[in-house]
Structure 1
Amino acid sequence: MLVLGIETTCDETAAAVVRRSGEGPGEVLSNVVRAQFEAHAAFGGVVPEIAARAHIDALDGVVAKALADAGVTLDALDGVAAAAGPGLVGGVIVGLTSGKALALVADKPFSAVNHLEAHALTARLTDGVAFPYLLLLASGGHTQLLAVLGVGRYLRLGTTLDDALGEAFDKVAKMLGLGYPGGPQVELRAASGDPARFAFPRPMHGRAEPNFSLSGLKTAVRLEAERTAPLNETDVDDLCAGFQAAVVDVVANRARAGARAFAERFGAPSALVVAGGVAANGPIRQALQGLAGDLGVPMVAPPLALCGDNGAMIAWAGAERLALGLVDDLDFAPRPRWPLDAASAAPGAKA
């Protein structure tokens, strides 16, 4: 099964072609991503109107390159998938409308993909991970611990009560005058810093319920920065190192709580999986590798090219759904909010 996937939920215009041949890993035939970092850098974050216009300008060329790189024509595809949410609605509309048009013109089945489900299923594309598995989904907009039971079957075990992990990295980077996106900048500066200089809190550490809270940690960084100002380069390095060390401790502790909650309901997971943009952070990956070793299960993280938003994950999720006969109508509406498992959301938590 060959599927074209389109992703436009935030500030990456992406398209890819993947092949699904059975229950094992898939094959990425092409994966084209056009980022918009320069367009948003001056604002310290993504501006929805700018992102939507950039998607309009770029998407036709990105799709054409994805097909050319894969060496296939539109007629050779078995289906078309597009992210239908959650995300910035202007961008979602651009990709979703284009995906529908391509499916209509080529007379191919269409799949409207949940962006979060695409992240959740990436480990099956890359490693053929069997259900059920424990997933930490961590990005700029989402932080969730999920039991992934099957395609379309997700139980949210824990989530953030305020900031997402990637959002916290970006906000700390902005307050310290670092570039956008903030996560890679904080990780880079932390590598040269002293993580023990500043005593930052570990919010929710030790709680039984596997939820996250990052706003208090972010505030603690701001207060220390204000007390230390004016900041020199060493101060910035140390603040980044202390913040990242606190985040790593929190992630490992919360994931351990998630593993206990998973085991109570479903037994041992087949793997501990981390996905989303924050999965590219080296110290977080190392901490989760250690936790997986304690649990006696493999830790699976996508290659760096598939950690951020990309078309390959959309194409794969579409292929998984289409293989089960799950075809969507062309009147499927964009969904700015689309939780995988709203019923299990913690009180007051972000969807």
Structure 2
Amino acid sequence: MFWVQFFSRHASVQKILAISSVTRRPSKSVKHCRSVCLRSIFFNSVKYYPTKLVLGIETSCDDTAAAVVDDTGKILGEALHSQNEVHLKTGGIIPPVAQQLHRENIERIVKETLCVSGISLDELSAVATTVKPGLALSLGVGLEYSLKLVDKYKKPFIPIHHMEAHALTIRLINQVEFPFLVLLISGGHCILVVAQGVSDFLLLGQSVDIAPGDMLDKVARRLSLTKHPECCKMSGGKAIEHLAQQGNRLHYELRAPMRHHRNCNFSFSGLCFNATRIIMQKEKEEGLQEGHLLSCVTDIAAAVQHAVALHIVQRTHRAILFCIKSGILSQTNATLVISGGVASNQYIRRALQIVTDATNFNLLCPPPRLCTDNGVMIAWNGIERMRAGLGVLHSTDGIRYEPKASLGIDISEQVGEVAIKVPSLEVSLNELATINL
């Protein structure tokens, strides 16, 4: 009777109890069925229903994603709807279009996630949702939907900083202890931070203009790579990476920017301008109008990718040296984590490996599917915050989304004041450029 009372809320138990109550003396088959059901539910509950279960919802940009993660780091279920093909046709993300697509798909994605995970909304410990930073219209859809859920099912709500989630995703799959250095590179961000704890970051540097993913997308659009037979369904960054493998970056010179600024900030707008200038010159030489494919697209792609990689490497190298010199990180067992959509670029990863090998750092990166925007990282960040007792809200009054939001305490001026000169790794990087990735 104890187990019956203990599990009486479970739907399967209720069905069995209903069957057995039909007659005053249940048959042996009914008794056996009831016993097996209760034992099965007990053992499945022990195995699959740990203390904490968090539903993560992500709508910061153009992907509608959700996932359920438990407090052991197990991904119980996830789903994602990508808007990539729609935005490729329009030449970029149009916020109202992204908003509408989020609205059309968010309920389906959450239901699919819960179905795959075998978890009901009643069984969740909390709902975690991206509230900053990102596209305002997109963030609004995720927040509005989530607040309705937590209000209806009386669940705690955990507002998530999108970049914090990217930074901590590595701890889902690796035993990485704080502190560690993080490079976040994506279509909307490029930042270097030291993760000292959950929600405890030191900002060393960030892009002063556009992000590397945005720059690569702009160059890909200017090259009309959606018309290339091998790249018609690829994002701009993926198309550049793909074609760069076939090109020779030495045919065009694109110098890394900010070479005389001894800080850890980034700038990609100048690179974008110089790449566009080269494209216009080649169009003139080949007698082509804008919108037609150049014969040298592979070489331009290779030059652009190398310049981006070199710029990222130089700033990251300085960040590593600053952290060691200032004592923020110990060179023993020190780790560099790279995440974000651009971290999926294998050429950039290999370039950063050269830096970490030279400085005796460990280089870690989540698998590509967890580098791009996803619901798993949001749910995991929710688990991390629940463990740390940070930002778990039982009242959502006054909660708002924030399209712009910094990450951590900004010490970038201190980095610039130290003005560390970075040793040249040009020879190693030149060797990298000759490797067919």
Q: Which moved more, 1:215-224 or 1:132-141?
A: 215-224
Q: 1:34 aligns with which of 66, 69, 81?
A: 81
Report deviation, 1:247: 1.1
Which blocks of at least 5 consecutive residues in structure 2 are unaligned?
A: 1-51, 227-233, 415-437
Report deviation, 1:289: 1.8
Question: Letter of the aligned partner of 2:328 in structure 1?
Answer: F
Partners of 1:185 and 1:246 lie apart in 2 by 16
Question: Letter of the aligned partner of 2:363 in structure 1?
Answer: M
Question: Letter of the aligned partner of 1:8 in structure 2?
Answer: T
Asked whether the equivalents of residues 178 and 196 of structure 2 are also in contact (C-alpha less than 8 Å), the reply is: yes
Question: Letter of the aligned partner of 2:147 in structure 1?
Answer: K
Deviation digits for residues 247-268 of structure 1, max 9, x if unmatched? 1111111110111222224132
Q: What pairs up with 1:110-149 in 2 under 5 angstroms?
A: 110-149=157-196
Which blocks of at least 5 consecutive residues in structure 1 are unaligned?
A: none
Partners of 2:201 and 2:117 lie apart in 1 by 31
Asked whether the equivalents of residues 201 and 220 of structure 1 are also in contact (C-alpha less than 8 Å), the reply is: no
Partners of 2:308 and 2:77 lie apart in 1 by 34
Determine if the alignment matches structure 1 residue 268 to structure 2 residue 315: no
Asked whether the equivalents of residues 182 and 195 of structure 2 are also in contact (C-alpha less than 8 Å), the reply is: yes
Q: What pairs up with 1:16-95 in 2 under 5 angstroms?
A: 16-21=67-72, 26-95=73-142
Determine if the alignment matches structure 1 residue 337 to structure 2 residue 404: yes
Q: Which moved more, 1:190-199 or 1:326-335?
A: 326-335
Asked whether the equivalents of residues 159 and 346 of structure 1 are also in contact (C-alpha less than 8 Å), the reply is: no
Aligned match of 2:319: 258
Aligned match of 2:277: 223
Report deviation, 1:115: 0.6
Aligned match of 1:15: 66
Asked whether the equivalents of residues 134 and 148 of structure 1 are also in contact (C-alpha less than 8 Å), the reply is: yes
Partners of 1:344 and 1:188 lie apart in 2 by 37
Q: Following TM superposition, where does structure 1 have runs of at least 4 consecutive aligned residues deviating by more than 3 angstroms?
A: 230-234, 342-347
Deviation digits for residues 317-345 of structure 1, max 9, x if unmatched? 11111122221231311111111136446
Q: Name the % identity.
A: 38
Asked whether the equivalents of residues 208 and 267 of structure 2 are also in contact (C-alpha less than 8 Å), the reply is: yes
Across the aligned residues of Structure 1 and Structure 2, the Cα RMSD in angstroms comes to: 1.7
Question: Letter of the aligned partner of 2:405 in structure 1?
Answer: W
Deviation digits for residues 220-279 of structure 1, max 9, x if unmatched? 111111111136554111100011011111111111011122222413263100010001
Partners of 1:261 and 1:45 lie apart in 2 by 37
Partners of 1:92 and 1:223 lie apart in 2 by 35
Deviation digits for residues 284-340 of structure 1, max 9, x if unmatched? 111112222222222111111111111101111111111222212313111111111
Deviation digits for residues 46-67 of structure 1, max 9, x if unmatched? 1100011111110001001111
Partners of 1:174 and 1:240 lie apart in 2 by 12
Deviation digits for residues 47-105 of structure 1, max 9, x if unmatched? 10001111111000100111111121112211110000111111111111222222222
Report deviation, 1:30: 1.9
Partners of 1:300 and 1:27 lie apart in 2 by 19
Partners of 1:216 and 1:82 lie apart in 2 by 35
Report deviation, 1:160: 1.0
Q: Which moved more, 1:173-182 or 1:74-83?
A: 173-182
Determine if the alignment matches structure 1 residue 183 to structure 2 residue 249: no
Determine if the alignment matches structure 1 residue 315 to structure 2 residue 362: no
Asked whether the equivalents of residues 206 and 253 of structure 1 are also in contact (C-alpha less than 8 Å), the reply is: no
Q: 1:247 aligns with which of 308, 320, 326?
A: 308
Q: Which moved more, 1:61-70 or 1:200-209?
A: 200-209
Asked whether the equivalents of residues 45 and 181 of structure 1 are also in contact (C-alpha less than 8 Å), the reply is: no
- Pick 1 or 2: higher relative contact order, CA cutoff 8 A, min separation 6: 1
SS at match of 2:90: coil
Length-normalised TM-score, structure 1? 0.93
After superposition, the Cα gap between the structure-2 partners of 1:170 and 1:346, relative to the gap in structure 1 and judged at 3 Å, is farther
Aligned match of 2:354: 290
SS at match of 1:287: helix
Partners of 1:177 and 1:223 lie apart in 2 by 15
Length-normalised TM-score, structure 2? 0.75
After superposition, the Cα gap between the structure-2 partners of 1:224 and 1:346, relative to the gap in structure 1 and judged at 3 Å, is farther
Partners of 2:409 and 2:201 lie apart in 1 by 10
SS at match of 1:154: strand
Determine if the alignment matches structure 1 residue 281 to structure 2 residue 348: no
Asked whether the equivalents of residues 145 and 158 of structure 1 are also in contact (C-alpha less than 8 Å), the reply is: yes
Partners of 1:87 and 1:224 lie apart in 2 by 32
Determine if the alignment matches structure 1 residue 302 to structure 2 residue 362: no
